[in-house]
Structure 1
Amino acid sequence: MKFDFTYFNPTKIYFGKTALENLSSELANYGDTVLLVYGKGSVKKSGLYDKMIKILNEAGKKIVELAGIKSNPSYKQMMEGARLVRENHADLILAVGGGSVIDCAKAISISAYCKGDPWQRYWIDYEEVDNEIVPVGAVLTMAGTGSEMNGGSVITNEEKMLKNGRVYPPNVYPKFSILNPEYTYTVPKYQMASGIFDTFSHLLEQYFSGTDDNTTDYVIEGVLRSLTHSARAALKNPEDYEARSNIMWCATIGLNTITGLSKEQDWEVHMIEHQLGAYTDCAHGAGLAAISTAYYKYIYKFGIDKFVRFAKNVWDVNTDTLSKEEAAMAGIEKLSNFIRELGLPSSLRELGATEEMLPLIAKSTIQGGGYKQMDENDILTVLKNCY
């Protein structure tokens, strides 16, 4: 392991069919008022909302609601939640939904008592959070982001056309998360596939960096293989509990920092997609899918040995008779085929992007990268290649 690290994750996970039974005991650890945050209606259609209200009422909690969180949660929604926390003196923010809802809940938790503009302080200037943080709990209904066990929060400022993310320290992580794979059954197949590729991309962003031999890369390869196998099973039968449970746990592992330990990491695909999302409001995983193949074709020569390893260890490509370049490209082609299997877009055009948007997206994207440091021209080239 090349780099020293400290690992700590404070989130308690309740996993499985009976996971929700633990909510009552968790609620006992917090005060009287709960801000219930959820999305646009699927929670009510599935019956989960009624279960949540019943448990909260039985626990004697005052319930304040913030509904309608978008798939790309907005700064405006975040600030409305912060207002509700302050005015009602909420003791716990309970997020019921996918990663967008949980991201928004974490953003509300740090912004409610912020002195000054939280967007500028915490998402632009990356200041340390120096105010009261309201605790967050989560009930997960869509697997993909890993937000249930990390400090990440991605928010879109629609006025400024910026979609910015930040990973906050462990005091912002959810205190507990309830993961019942059955709650993901009602997610439409496209959203399921989008979540699966979001997880896949998280793993790739951590994997495609470094030239050292470390345990983390072997862990990532194993999770990628599990995710691919279970994704194919879930596409055939969306109510395959074993497949959906594996996908849910892969998503959590994929971004609870365990698969990033002692790694340099990349994250430029995510940076590009964030700005694509700011301009098109596309599903995050779908945007990542449209960008990934073009990005990796652009950078693979700078880290070719890892791309050969990816082809061999993740996709079982027989590399013995292939040149390094042929092997690397074979692995990227397997990735492209998997995206098609998932039914996700392979071009930005399919997501509503226009040619006029491409320079604007490139200009506003945070520059970085792993094997190749990307500048604005590099990013624009990648965008054109996947348009």
Structure 2
Amino acid sequence: MLGNFSYCNPTKLYFGEDALENLIVELAKYGNNVALVYGSGSIKKNGIYDEIMDILKSAGKTVSEIAGVMPNPTVHKLYEGVEIARTHKVDFILAVGGGSVVDYAKALSVSIHCEEDPWEKYYARFEEPVCEIVPVGVVLTMVGTGSEMNTGAVITYPEKKLKIGHVFTDERIMPKFSILNPRYTMSLPKNQMIAGIYDIFNHICEQYFSGEDDNTSDYISEGLIKSVIHSSRIAIKDKNDYEARSNLMWSATWALNTLVSRGKSTDWMVHMIGQSVGACSNATHGMTLSAVSLPYYKMIMPYGVRKFARFAVNVWDISPDGKNEEELAKEGLSAMEAWMKELGLAMKLSEIGVTMEMIDDIVNGTLIMEGGYKVLSKEDVRKVLMQSM
């Protein structure tokens, strides 16, 4: 392994069918004024809302609700939440939902006491908070983002056609605890499950496809990817298979709690392009990633052919006999494509509502990241998008 690094992850996890029993113990550590943050209301239909409200009442908490957090939470929703939280003097945030709800809760946590416009401070200038941060706890109901164990918070500004993720460096923004019950994920529609699966897979790939040194993080990544592939095939046949869903939930957490990025440069260009697609189309995040992934990886493959060949052998079990690295690399990407189609992922941007008229805005809204095998130009981004149409 090359370079120096530090690693700290203070989020406490409770995993399994009885995980929610620990909520009342955790609530006792925080203030009485709780903001309950959730999405469109599915937690009311499946009973999770009632369970949590009973626990909050048992803990003697005063609860204000911030409902209706959308799949791509907007800055306007953030402003709304800040006003509610300030009015009710919120001193703890409980996020109940998937990655968008958890991202929103973390953005809210650094914005409540911020004296500046949080969009300008955190998403335009990428500054760190200097104000008091309201602690966040999580009850996860959808897997994919890994937001339950990291400091990332993605917010969309629709009028500017920008969707930006800020991965804060301040450890106080990490959720204090996350409750992970795989049963809670089983009521989601199949297409949301599939989108989440690809988000997990791509998080790992963004960290894997960089560097050439013999890195322990890459061996961990290969194991995680193989687990995701195996469990995904079971879950798409039976979405109520507990073992498969629990393995996907656990893989999602470890895919983006920064463990597998240690000692490595990382890429993230698929996410930058995908997020810009989402800002312009409001399409489901995992599907924006799947639609642009193959054209992107085919573009950078010649610059990192050794790792792509390793990916073919170690992840997809392709025999290296009689093949050079380029041939192996191409076979690996073909195997990946076949698996993506098997899941039913979007393979073209046109499938998720992207039109040619959106391309300029998507290009302009794509942040260029370094760390991968090739630093893209804006024209390269355009080529990826055109090949994805």
- Give aligned-pair identity as a percent: 51
Q: 1:76-128 CA deviation, whole Å, 9 max, x = no partner?
A: 11111111111111111000000000000000000111111110111111112
Are 1:279 and 2:280 matched, yes or no? yes
Cα separation, 2, equivalents of 1:225 and 1:34: 40
Deviates more, 1:333-342 or 1:129-138: 333-342
Q: Which residue of 2 aligns with 1:259?
A: 260
Contact 2:15 2:180 in 1 (8 A): yes
Please name the residue that 2:45 is paired with: 45
* Inter-partner Cα distance in structure 2 for 1:154 and 1:232: 29
Equivalent residue of 1:371, what SS?
coil
> Following TM superposition, by how much is the alpha carbon of 1:323 offset from its aligned partner in structure 2, in angstroms?
2.2
Where does residue 85 of structure 2 map in the other structure? 85
2:378 corresponds in structure 1 to 376
- Whether 1:130 aligns to 2:130 is yes
Q: Tell me whether 320-329 or 109-118 shows the greater mean CA deviation.
A: 320-329
Alignment check: 8 A CA contact 2:113 2:133 kept: yes
Instruction: Say which SS state the counterpart of residue 225 (structure 2) adopts.
Output: helix
Partner of 1:207: 208
Deviations 1:309-351 (A, max 9, x none): 0000000011222222111111111111111111111000001
Q: Partners of 1:80 and 1:289 in 2: how far apart? A: 32
Distance 2:356 2:284 in 1: 19
1:219 has 2:220 as partner: yes
**In the TM superposition, what are the counterparts of 1:106-121 in structure 2 within 5 Å?**
106-121=106-121
TM-align CA RMSD: 0.8
Deviations 1:265-317 (A, max 9, x none): 10000000111000010111111000101100111000000000000000001
Q: Structure 1 length as normaliser, TM-score?
A: 0.99
Distance 1:30 1:363 in 2: 43
- For 1:79, the aligned partner's letter is Y
Specify the SS of the correspondent of 1:236: coil
Contact 1:216 1:262 in 2 (8 A): yes
Counterpart amino acid of residue 178 in structure 1: I
The match for 2:247 is: 246
Give the alignment of 1:149-164 within 5 angstroms.
Answer: 149-164=149-164
Q: TM (normalized to structure 2)?
A: 0.98
Q: Distance in 2 between matches of 1:250 and 1:189?
A: 18
**4+ aligned runs moved over 6 Å, structure 1:** none
Aligned-partner Cα distance in 2 for 1:26–1:159 = 39
Aligned: 1:344 with 2:335: no
Name the amino acid aligned to 1:378: D
2: CA distance between counterparts of 1:59 and 1:384?
54
Equivalent residues, number? 387
* 8 A Cα contact 2:161 2:361, kept in partner: no
CA contact (8 A) 1:368 1:375 kept: no
1:206·1:265 contact (CA, 8 Å) conserved in 2?
yes
**Structure 1 equivalent of residue 4 of structure 2:** 4
SS in 1 for 2:235: helix
8 Å contact 1:73–1:155 — kept in the other structure? Answer: yes
Secondary structure of 2:314's aligned partner: helix
Task: Give 1:358 deviation, angstroms.
Answer: 1.1
Alignment of 1:174-193 (within 5 A): 174-193=175-194
Equivalent position of 1:71 in the other structure: 71
Q: 1:342 & 1:79 partners in 2: Cα distance?
A: 37
**Please, which runs of 5 or more residues in structure 2 have no aligned partner?**
none
Q: What residue number does 1:288 align with? A: 289
1:185, 1:116 → 2: CA distance?
40
CA distance in 2 between counterparts of 1:364 and 1:175 reads 32
